[in-house]
Amino acid sequence: MSKVIMIQGTMSNAGKSLLTAGLCRIMKQDGYRVAPFKSQNMALNSFITEEGLEMGRAQVMQAEAAGIRPMVCMNPILLKPTSHTGSQVIVNGEVVGNMGARDYFKYKTRLIPEIKKAFRELEKIADIIVIEGAGSPAEINLRENDIVNMGMAEIADAPVLLVGDIDRGGVFAQLLGTLMLLGEDEKSRVKGLIINKFRGDKTILDPGIEMLEERGGVPVVGVIPYMELALEDEDSLTERFRETRIGKIDMAVIRYPRISNFTDFNVFEQLSEVSVRYVTSASELGHPDIIFLPGSKNTIRDLKWMRQNGLEAAVKKLSDEVPVFGICGGYQMLGKEISDPEGVEEGGKIRGMELLDVMTELKREKTRCQTEGKINKVEGIFSELSGMDYSGYEIHMGCTTKEGETPLVLIGGDKGNVYGSYVHGIFDRGHIASAIIKALADKKGLTIDKGVFEDYKNFKERQYDHLADTLRAYLNMEDIYGMLNDAHLK
């Protein structure tokens, strides 16, 4: 039987995902077979496994840190918001349907057997399972049917590390308040407290830590410094959306209300001379060197949003001189028309942006697959991409065609400035990202100091090692291993 430890937080974005990844990497380095687990994840960034099943990207990132392939049993329940009050419910990688928040609250306890089954599958391959919670265990209105925080800790009989975010202020109140709102049985599971994202001299914190331990009755096992890491974070609260810096090469990503899989553009963050900005208005858009239209959980509604706020007109105007690149839902928007005869999203049909000569029909059956091969011949500014090796995955509701035939991997417009593809992760190969940056730099007559991207997989491996090194330096790993309470691990 695997040994387990669980990371819970005082709030969303306290750092649970990265700390889980860091512990996975440390334990891998120490010679253990380790795996991540999150019973329920709410996210718009998802991934397709080798088996064609859908799971949250946070657990994919953690699996990479652990050095194992992503498996859907690491994230048996995935909720993909479709509105402010409803989500698409995915269980064991398959779509169950759309549910409102109240309906799902009543339904979710029926999924406990699926959670237990997935956890047992993971136990077959792991010495240690690092479990991630969601939000906060002190959300007392949700405690009754909890399956992701203390409810999951009880299912797995896991000791809990509680993480607070000092960068957002009030970390002592966060930690003490959370402990006070837990039941006695729940509080007894909390074996250590972690203060995350600290900037400054730790000795200033020491009097507060002493009082925190005295009042909370739980030891502080680490004060983690604020880390600059280029790894995936919680998609709903990512700090990437706050980027306003304009680099020598300025990339603008349209941030629609239902943006999804914007991890496609993380690869470009490797170079300090390149900026990746997420924009929500025509005034924010400015005059970038390239515009990306990312995936969307509701393509028709997000296209209407662009149309209403002026972004569509701004993008179309700039497309005469600035490359526009759509991925998945963004690719669908660039075509002539999107029709929805089965009512998958809005029903009916809508005129597209008319920048690509393609038509899309939404279908109830979701396309889910990994894919690799060579990019077909393309024209225009990115013609050097022709014939390059690519790999990635497709995840979309709908079929896009050109004159009755399904288009190739990458399709370009007649003007040579507009491109579209269904392949998520198509830029992750270093040579593809490098070719795009080089083409944009050549157009501006610029030389980029580091014009060659390393493969994004190799880049992330170095990031995971850096994360692990930092956590080793600031966490009491001896105490954490002790919490696992397994003689064969000592």
Q: Give the active site residues.
A: 328, 424
Which tokens sit at 299?
A: 């393509």
The tokens 């999203």 sit on which residue?
Answer: 345
Distances (CA, A) of 12 to 15, 212, 217, 263: 8, 21, 24, 19
CA atoms within 13 A on the CB side of 84: 0
